[in-house]
Amino acid sequence: MTGLSRPGSPSDSPAGNPASPAGGGSGWQVHLAARPAGLPVPDDFALVRTTVPEPAAGQVLVRNLVLSLDAGMRLRMSDVGVPLPLYTVGAVMDGDAVGEVVRSASVDLAVGDLVHHGLGWREYAVADAARFRRIDDTAFPTVSAHLASYLTAWVGVVDVARMAPGDTVFVSGAAGSVGGLAGQIARLKGAGRVVGSVGSPAKAAHVTGRLGFDAAFDHHDGRHADRLREVAPDGVDVYFDNTGGAQLEAAIEVMNPHGRIALCGALAAQNGGTGAAGPSNLILAIGKRLTMRGFLTSDHLDRAKQAHTDVAGWLRDGSLTLDQTIVDGLENAPQAFIDMLGGAYTGKVVVRLPKQTRQATVVRGGGGGANR
């Protein structure tokens, strides 16, 4: 486990959190203030204090402990051509979070339960108990580990790309929250060689060192297909695509016949720029009989139990690294999100809510460079 969210850390444990506000109390939320054009800026967000109601019958009040920041959230901030529901301007944003039930009017959840849910970007969440899933706080080394993107990575490698033992696997965005796990899962499932593209030499060293990739290259350095051939001289059998654009085009050029492509993300296009151009060589996909399949994690929730079992086992025996960047304080979430989109961090970016105050700083980051 990397980062500062260590087992037994008081700030990563529900025991250290303050009590919930009384009825009519208040809590902080992050609202979308404006739809960004290109990379978001601080003025696109607003920190708002709002009233926290008492839970009605069948509801619970949850104090969030850790919140997830995900690159895919950018796709919901403004229309960049991806058919996803947009955040509402002037309203609180949402995202994955883990919190503690502090008041309950439901027979299904009790005070003290730890829950995973989709009402992040806020201190307190009040909703029907059915919107929260109780989690076992002993299953993973830390509370924040429950926000890892392991299901997306596992499904993409195992079900979508149908990776077979001995395959050469290429992962773009390899230093990111999904890419880093996808490469490791491919290795643990028997890949013959795992290579990745990243946004800086420091990140290349990170994924080949800490995360165990066989090789990696900086996608800013030279023609993508040429660099990919250097690290995968025998071609690529599986491509886990987190970027689209030029890197997808390069993968198609280098892939072996009957290769499989799992289309997971669109880092090259998510800010509405010109990086989405391509691929222009789809004729090769015909000749090579390639399979390209887009997927959403939400379509594969039936696989969550198996993925969880695999990941928990790998964490116990130390064969899997959950790479995380921890940011303290809800008010720092917007800037951390902006920095994440710019490639400032490695691994999963998690916002940790403080025990007593809202004073906060970024406490761990990764190497610089864009598009992970």
- CA distances, 362 to each of 6, 326, 337, 349 (Å): 16, 7, 12, 10
Residue 88 has pLDDT above 70, yes or no: yes
> What is the average pLDDT across 33-46?
95
Task: Name the pTM for this structure.
Answer: 0.83
Burial 212-233 (b: 16+ CB within 10 A, else e): bbbbbbbbeeeebbebbbebbe
pLDDT score of 193:
98
* pLDDT at res. 369: 39
Alpha carbons within 13 angstroms on the beta-carbon side of residue 243 total: 32
Q: What is the pLDDT of residue 17?
A: 37
Distance, in Å, from the CA atom of 121 to the CA atom of 61, rounded to the nearest integer, reads 15
pLDDT tens-digit readout, 107-131 = 999 999 999 999 999 999 999 999 9
The helix or strand, by DSSP H or E, that contains position 219, with its residue range, turns out to be none
11 pLDDT higher than 50: no
Percent of residues, the chain, with pLDDT higher than 90 = 79
pLDDT of residue 272: 55
Residue 2, pLDDT above cutoff 60: no
- For position 143, what pLDDT does the model report? 93
Domain assignments of the chain as residue spans, ordered by start? 10-148+323-352, 150-299
Are 127 and 133 in contact by the 8 Å Cβ rule? The answer is no
Query: Which among 310, 285, 269 has a CA at the least distance from the CA of 157?
Result: 310
Which pLDDT does position 84 carry in this prediction?
82
Residue-level pLDDT at 273: 52
At 41-70, the pLDDT tens digits run 999 999 999 999 999 999 999 999 999 999
pLDDT at 266: 79
Mean pLDDT over the full length of the chain: 88
Instruction: With cut-offs at 50, 70 and 90, classify the pLDDT of residue 223.
Output: very high
Q: Which of 240, 236, 235, 232 is nearest to 264 (CA)?
A: 240
Looking at the chain, the whole-number percentage of residues with pLDDT higher than 70 is 86
Same fold, 10-148+323-352 and 150-299: no
d(CA 45, CA 335): 9
Q: What's the rounded mean pLDDT across residues 226-239? A: 98
Please calculate the CA angle 367-368-372 and round it to the nearest 5 degrees: 85
pLDDT at 279 over 80: yes
Q: What are residue 168's phi and psi, to 5 degrees?
A: -90, 125
HSE value, Cβ hemisphere, 13 Å, CA-based, for 36: 25
- Rounded average pLDDT over 298-308: 95
| Structural class in CATH, domain 10-148+323-352 | alpha beta
Q: How far is CA 183 from CA 158, 212, 267, 270, 322, in A?
A: 12, 8, 17, 22, 12
Confidence band of 270 (pLDDT split at 50, 70, 90) = low
Instruction: Classify domain 150-299 at the CATH superfamily level.
Output: NAD(P)-binding Rossmann-like Domain (3.40.50.720)
pLDDT at 209 over 60: yes
**Cβ contact 43:33 at 8 Å:** yes
Residue by residue, DSSP assigns 248-288 as HHHHHHHEEEEEEEEE---TTTTTSSSTT-----HHHHHHT
How far apart, in whole angstroms, are the C-alpha atoms of residue 173 and residue 243?
A: 7
For residue 130, the model assigns a pLDDT of 97
Residues 148, 73: Cα–Cα separation, whole Å:
15
Question: Does residue 15 register a pLDDT over 70?
Answer: no
